[in-house]
Amino acid sequence: MTETPGTLLAALRAEPPLVQCITNYVAMNIAANVLLAAGASPAMVADAEESGEFARIAGALTVNIGTLSPPFVDGARAAIAGAEAAGRPWVLDPVACQATAYRRRVSAELAALRPTIIRGNASEILSLAGEASRGQGVDGRDPVAMAEDGARRLARKYASVVVVTGAVDFVTDGVRAARVEGGSPFMPMNTAMGCSLTCLCGAYAAVAGDPFDAAIGALAHFAVAGSHAHEGAAGPGSFAPRFLDALHAVTPERLDAEASIQSVEEVSE
């Protein structure tokens, strides 16, 4: 792996990528702070009036349907068209796509536009892959291992890299696959951690040649920073500021030394 997480982090910090984040109301502030702490430059530019124009100048685009509405979806469509026209990577976060007919319809429509990376919890990836999901709201209710085959099928169908997050994360491009360990049990007790990770996947994709490496880089950065922040945290409240500090403090060398990445044997079609 030439594009190690540390190599990508060094590139990101040398030239902070502009990342256009179309995300939900809950995540906007949290995700912007996560990107700044990690070393990227976030911009929450969402309305169709300008989102397509902005996508042409951003290094990457991320689209999250957490608090979707028809005008929001119009903004996402325009931005995706702009990113595609400019040849920029874009990331889809299908928040709670299993929950309602509207979410199922919009997430299927956006996935069919072939995102560079799709990132969700196991319940969301199972649902997007057309399988039964135990998820109800925005939290994952299924084990990551259950969603691995669905992730592989989704990756092949849309030529996307698919990331399933949970206690151990899974990433696949339909041929290659890997697991990333680390993080903290306080992470799912902090809202918008997954949404923020989706935005960080955009930042890594902006500086990487291969979106599979980009996804692993973002996952490893979260996992290592999460493990550091866990030390001394009394609970989810004190974890949150420690996590921002740790995202900022981790060096490329330490990221490569501490990242726990296992490649998974290829599974033939």
Ligand X SMILES: Nc1ncnc2c1ncn2[C@@H]1O[C@H](COP(=O)(O)OP(=O)(O)OP(=O)(O)O)[C@@H](O)[C@H]1O
- In the complex, which residues of this chain contact ligand Cc1ncsc1CCO (CB under 6 A)? 24, 26-27, 66-67, 95, 138, 191-192, 195
Residue with smaller CB distance to Mg ion, 17 or 194: 194
H or E, element range at 37: helix 28-38
Residue 138 CB, shortest distance to Mg ion, in Å, is: 5
Site for ligand X in 132-161 (CB under 6 A): 138-140
**Residue closest to ligand X when measured from CB atoms:** 194
Pairing of strands 161-165, 117-121: parallel
Written as six digits, the tokens of 63 are: 């689209």
Site for Mg ion in 191-250 (CB under 5 A): 194
Residue 98 CB, shortest distance to ligand X, in Å, is: 12
Q: How far apart are the first and last CA of the chain?
A: 24
* Cβ–Cβ under 8 Å, residues 121 and 194: yes
Residue 217 sits in the site that holds ligand X (CB under 6 A): no
Strand order in the sheet with 41-43: 41-43, 18-22, 60-64, 90-93, 117-121, 161-165, 169-172, 177-181, 260-264
Written as six digits, the tokens of 21 are: 């984040």
165 annotated ligand binder: yes
Rg of the chain taking only CA atoms, in angstroms:
17
44 annotated ligand binder: yes
For residue 170, the partner it binds in ligand Cc1ncsc1CCO, Mg ion, ligand X, none, with Cβ less than 5 to 8 A by kind, is: none
Q: Which of 167, 255, 173 is nearest to 218 (CA)?
A: 255
For residue 24, the partner it binds in Mg ion, ligand X, ligand Cc1ncsc1CCO, none, with Cβ less than 5 to 8 A by kind, is: ligand Cc1ncsc1CCO
Residue 115 CB, shortest distance to ligand X, in Å, is: 15
Written as six digits, the tokens of 247 are: 């995202």
CA distance 212 to 209: 9
CA distance 35 to 196: 8
Residue with smaller CB distance to Mg ion, 121 or 172: 121
- Applying CB under 5 A, which of residues 9, 27, 95, 250 lies at the interface with Mg ion? 95
CA distance 5 to 44: 25
Residue with smaller CB distance to Mg ion, 95 or 223: 95
Segment interacting with ligand X (CB under 6 A) among 68-76, 103-111, 150-158, 177-185 = 177-185
Interface contacts to Mg ion, rule CB under 5 A: 95, 194
**Residues annotated within a binding site:** 44, 119, 165, 192
Interface contacts to ligand X, rule CB under 6 A: 95, 121, 138-140, 165-167, 169, 183-185, 187-188, 191-195, 197, 222, 226
**Residues annotated within a binding site for ATP:** 119, 165
